[in-house]
Chains A and B, each alone.
Chain A
């Protein structure tokens, strides 16, 4: 049996944020019961092909899974546990929005088996939250985090975003310090990335707001590295930090190229150098599954060179890096010399500066 992960996509959100290009929708809550039935049906349809995998992680993402009732999420998880070989010690995460949870709902989720909570805090600066069009306040993050602790959560992640228009290094430092003060087990800090097909992307294209300044984002990244290291977090992936032992097993699976099954609208799956993805519009997804078909919208078979490129760029995102033996010395040496790579027990690992220039590193090491 090989270790695998299951990802479940929940496309419902309270509001759409300007920067978000995920497959997520506000105002579609009426479709929740039907969507839940569809997820259960898809899980049943997909299960026979995944009997040989040991599921070591389940991850509910979105969207905002916690817009659905804890009882519904419980029934979903129970169904998955019935159909798949879910390891008893599997990591089971749900994403949450601070405004969709309270102590009671969190207790219900924890007792249902969701033992890891990933919450979108994004910032503790109200101006930045407004810029990101997040509806919650810094206080609601503190309150929701306290509720999680009170409910018994011992493994909580806070998501942060830096580099929004108008955010300065001082503001980002305060956000980091506030986050550190809450002492979550895991912190994801993302440089704001502008996707063209989002309201933010269009505002930038129209010249209404400037593009994020990559140099400022680089400074902010360096600041995060420094403060989080001092606070005892291990920087184990480009945008992820964790107290030792709290690295996200599910996400590590992506970077280590373990198999994963995606359920829900637009979810991607991967196994044995094949990748396929579900149809993206929830309505199409539901219609297809209701006809009794797997809702596959597209697929690709990775050629050896594709697989190698993925192996290199995914592994280089993490502290594990890639075996030095994969790369010719004359390709690696300049980067060992200029401090973008270091060698660690026979592996080539990006330094903090190297992580920020990963595309360049990958092309130089794995390009032809």
Chain B
């Protein structure tokens, strides 16, 4: 039974990581008695253990709260820049957004970016300062900053403590009062937006949807307009917070749909669900976008024999991850594997970790690269594997993707931020003072410069105060070169990377220096070279090993000695032979590892 739309409120919470979104969601579940006290646990909605460990929310979820006769749908939004598109679809499912800001830390770039997304989507903003009970909280100052940004009065900003529950009932009241009810006509053809899809091993694809127009009965035959797939609905329902079947979803309502489809690629985020047959809508809802990988990397099993296991694991993972792309790749150094496309480094990290944890695979990931364009004979080739980069001099020009980066920084660190952006080949677009001490600054930056350690550098140069968000901004011409790494004269394809010419020397130097430490001494001198085409730009040598023998070997030593040799033999068996050089697995993993410090930025 559908609810009268005047009693529906659909809202999300826009917040920076650590600003208390999950804690607020917990309090809302409690106060509305959606979860009984005895069942309550922290970060209730972050179901997957992977998410819980990383402290982030990968999958948006919608949960229905019943409160004083109102049906409140809390739509959770992903909290990372890798998932900006998913955020925008979640926002499309709402009429309002709680803008949650840490009363000690103030506004961060990501929150600002999502606030802009929410405002652009026409959402009513309900601002709230969280953690007002912390000693470091400065609610008055933060309220003024926020009021200036939102063009409202500081008094309109709620003060809460999601942890203690202080102010949360007032926030609920404000949501009901300020967020408008959805509008929609039950008589119109069905248009329902998919804002998230996940794969359940028992039920198949579960899509989170927002009905815009029309009604979705639980037994309807549905049509997915972008993928043109039809299927019978198996179940419709709402999460409160566990799945609760209902017989139909009406206009303005948020819930889930189980279709019996077995692959999330058939029910992608942003697609429109309508009814099959004569009652179908003629137009899909606007804004659908194919998920587009931004970062590519080769994934290879550390043990060559695990290739088919890796393929099966990727096939399984893909069922629940519509953004994951992969295609077979063969490396002379690493054997058979897959070139995989990810939304960003965090996404790559999550996929790799799930493959290793859930499928018990040991993987080598090659250096990630962005997708670039090569113009040859007036034709453009899209290249996402360094191996496909043509030889120098055989093409006219290259282009690389750029992003529009939004950074917020205290004005004291403006110089440091600008310096970093210049060093990363950035071009300033504009900057403005949010408050007398806080600056919003925009740069167009090559994506390749952003995806690795940029955020880390930004944080360290601003003592942690600056924040970052970015969005795709097309392609621009760029002087890209492929740097190859040669061992004893043989190129090792796994170490090749396409970089801007100005960065080629530092990449080459870093790789040969790392490898010098990682490649064990062999029976001959091993030259490690970095080269562009035939031009060597960096070189190191691993000197030949001269001594590897046990000095003493008498009656009591022989057993131990034999076991040492067997251990050494096993170590050799785990090496990969590149030309004449034995390279340990660990060397591939360590040489290609992105600095741990660079990973933290992804959270």
Chain A residues in the interface with B (C-beta under 8 A): 7, 190-193, 214-215, 217-218, 221, 238-239, 251, 254-255, 260, 262, 266-270, 275, 277, 300, 306, 309-310, 313-314, 317, 338, 340, 353, 355-360, 362-363, 367-368
Contacts of A356 on B, CB cut-off 8 Å?
Answer: 546-549
Chain A nearest CB, measured from B239 CB (Å): 55
Asked if A193 contacts B552 (CB within 8 A), the reply is yes
Q: Does B556 contact A (CB under 8 A)?
A: yes
Question: Do A355 and B556 contact each other (CB < 8 Å), given the known contacts A313-B561, A313-B562, A363-B568?
Answer: no
Residue from A7, A215, A314, A353 within 8 A of B553 (CB atoms) = A314
Asked if A214 contacts B551 (CB within 8 A), the reply is no
Complexed CA–CA distance, A367 and B573 (Å): 10
B547, B550, B553 pick with most chain A CB within 10 angstroms:
B547
For A310, give the chain B residue with the smallest CB separation: B562
Question: Do A214 and B553 contact each other (CB < 8 Å), given the known contacts A313-B565, A363-B572?
Answer: no
B549, B550, B561 pick with most chain A CB within 10 angstroms:
B549
Complexed CA–CA distance, A228 and B552 (Å): 19
Residue from A217, A268, A270, A309 within 8 A of B547 (CB atoms) = A217
Nearest first, the 9 closest Cβ-Cβ pairs linking A and B are: A218-B546, A358-B549, A190-B551, A214-B547, A268-B556, A359-B548, A218-B547, A191-B551, A356-B547
Asked if B548 contacts A360 (CB within 8 A), the reply is yes
B536-559 toward A: CB 8 Å interface, digit per residue (1/0)? 000000010111111111111011
Asked if A357 contacts B548 (CB within 8 A), the reply is yes
Complexed CA–CA distance, A221 and B546 (Å): 11
29 contacts between A and B (CB under 8 A): A190-B552, A191-B551, A193-B550, A193-B551, A193-B552, A215-B546, A215-B547, A218-B546, A238-B551, A238-B553, A239-B552, A254-B555, A260-B555, A269-B555, A270-B558, A300-B559, A309-B562, A313-B561, A313-B565, A314-B553, A355-B549, A356-B547, A356-B548, A357-B546, A357-B548, A359-B550, A359-B565, A359-B568, A360-B523
Complexed CA–CA distance, A338 and B565 (Å): 22
Asked if B549 contacts A359 (CB within 8 A), the reply is yes
Asked if B565 contacts A362 (CB within 8 A), the reply is yes
Residue from B550, B561, B565 within 8 A of A363 (CB atoms) = B565
Q: Does B54 contact A (CB under 8 A)?
A: no
Complexed CA–CA distance, A270 and B556 (Å): 10
Contacts of B549 on A, CB cut-off 8 Å?
Answer: 238, 355-359
Residue from B548, B559, B565 within 8 A of A275 (CB atoms) = B559
Complexed CA–CA distance, A336 and B326 (Å): 47
Q: Does B535 contact A (CB under 8 A)?
A: no
Asked if B556 contacts A277 (CB within 8 A), the reply is yes
Residue from A218, A267, A353, A363 within 8 A of B556 (CB atoms) = A267
Contacts of A217 on B, CB cut-off 8 Å?
Answer: 547
Asked if A357 contacts B547 (CB within 8 A), the reply is yes
Question: Do A239 and B551 contact each other (CB < 8 Å), given the known contacts A275-B559, A338-B523, A363-B568?
Answer: yes
A338, A353, A362 pick with most chain B CB within 10 angstroms:
A362
Chain B nearest CB, measured from A322 CB (Å): 15
Asked if A270 contacts B553 (CB within 8 A), the reply is no
Complexed CA–CA distance, A218 and B545 (Å): 10
Chain A nearest CB, measured from B488 CB (Å): 14
Beyond A193-B550, A238-B551, A359-B550, list 13 extra A-B contacts (CB 8 Å). A214-B546, A255-B553, A268-B555, A268-B556, A277-B556, A306-B562, A313-B565, A353-B546, A356-B546, A357-B547, A358-B548, A359-B548, A359-B568
For A276, give the chain B residue with the smallest CB separation: B559
Question: Do A363 and B569 contact each other (CB < 8 Å), given the known contacts A268-B556, A277-B556?
Answer: yes
Asked if B551 contacts A268 (CB within 8 A), the reply is no
Complexed CA–CA distance, A193 and B547 (Å): 12
For A305, give the chain B residue with the smallest CB separation: B566
Chain A nearest CB, measured from B589 CB (Å): 23
Asked if A254 contacts B551 (CB within 8 A), the reply is no
For A334, give the chain B residue with the smallest CB separation: B523
Asked if B556 contacts A262 (CB within 8 A), the reply is yes
Contacts of B558 on A, CB cut-off 8 Å?
Answer: 254, 268, 270, 275, 310, 314
Chain B nearest CB, measured from A270 CB (Å): 7
Asked if A340 contacts B552 (CB within 8 A), the reply is no
Complexed CA–CA distance, A255 and B561 (Å): 13
Complexed CA–CA distance, A193 and B549 (Å): 10
Chain A nearest CB, measured from B432 CB (Å): 53
Contacts of A275 on B, CB cut-off 8 Å?
Answer: 558-559
Contacts of B548 on A, CB cut-off 8 Å?
Answer: 214, 356-360
For B580, give the chain A residue with the smallest CB separation: A334
Residue from B545, B562, B566 within 8 A of A360 (CB atoms) = B545
Asked if A340 contacts B523 (CB within 8 A), the reply is yes
Complexed CA–CA distance, A306 and B559 (Å): 10
Complexed CA–CA distance, A251 and B555 (Å): 8
Complexed CA–CA distance, A71 and B480 (Å): 85
For B548, give the chain A residue with the smallest CB separation: A359
Asked if A270 contacts B555 (CB within 8 A), the reply is yes
Complexed CA–CA distance, A292 and B364 (Å): 58
